[in-house]
Amino acid sequence: SFGQVVFSGGLGYRNLTDRLDEAGPGGYKRVNTRLYGILGAERDFQTSDWTITPSVQYKLILAGSQYSDVFGGVDLSQNNGYGAELAVSFVQRDAAYPLVITPFIRTWEVANSAVSRNMLEPRNTTHETGVTVSLQF
């Protein structure tokens, strides 16, 4: 904690399977895995009814791969890239089951994969925006 700012660090893992083969002819299954480091900071602000916590995270890919189920299957290393997340949590205070509302923005910038069997996974960018709504109990 530094002046009520809390710094954090850790590891994240993602495994995403795209079943493009179920979308119709020409589709194929692909599996993306990613191990990444996370550095973050957040700070709580109190109102009479809510705890409001803005947060930011930087994510750096440590190891990644893309498996494409084409031509008998191709594994491609995709180790270079980074991501970021901005969020603001609103937690209801003094409730038996506090309501938590968290709008967020997430992004990933991933470089070209290594080339294998004359194939590569191209550079890609992902942007997500959303809101998580939950109850604490």
Rounded CA separation 60/131 (Å): 23
pLDDT tens-digit series, residues 30-39:
899 999 999 9
pLDDT band at 13 (very low <50, low <70, confident <90, very high): very high
Predicted confidence band at 1 (pLDDT cuts at 50, 70, 90)? very low
pLDDT at 3: 65
Q: Which range has highest mean pLDDT (13-22, 54-63, 69-78)?
A: 54-63
61-94: pLDDT as tens digits: 999 998 988 888 889 999 999 999 999 999 998 8
95 vs 67: CA distance, rounded Å: 46
pLDDT per position as a tens digit, 117-127: 888 888 989 99
Q: How far apart are CA 109 and CA 84, in angstroms?
A: 9
Q: If 0-12 CB within 10 Å is exposed, 13-18 middle and 19+ buried, where does residue 128 land?
A: exposed
Which residues contact residue 83 at a Cβ distance below 8 angstroms, ignoring those fewer than 6 apart? 36, 58, 59, 61, 106, 107, 108, 109
